Amino acid sequence: MIGAIEILIIAVILGIIYGRDAIDKTFRKSAGEGVVESMAGDLKEFYEDDPKRMIKLGAIILGAIAFLATGTYWVITRTDFLKMIGLD
């Protein structure tokens, strides 16, 4: 019987093999440019395809930041989190 650890190891190996292929096909990075330049080129191409998608992407990012900030505020003010980490 295959255990959970063996399944996890197989999943990690397959993820490395197929994930690398997906990344190589998705991001067209040349040897002379860094990660930031490559991402900037991809974002520029993403914007040129449909400018409204960039606005939606920005709204989603701002919403995620607001959600995380609200959740963090709630955890700090409504729970004994500060006592747990020894700051109170």
Q: For the chain, where are the alpha helices, taking DSSP H only? A: 4-26, 35-49, 51-78, 81-84
Please give the model's pTM, rounded to 2 decimal places: 0.48
What is residue 64's predicted lDDT score, i.e. its pLDDT? Answer: 95
Six token digits for residue 13: 């190996």
In three-state secondary structure terms, 65 is helix
User: Over the stretch 47-79, which tens digit does the pLDDT of each residue have?
Assistant: 788 888 878 888 999 999 999 999 999 888 888
Q: Where are the domains of the chain?
A: 1-49, 51-88
The size of the chain, in residues, is 88
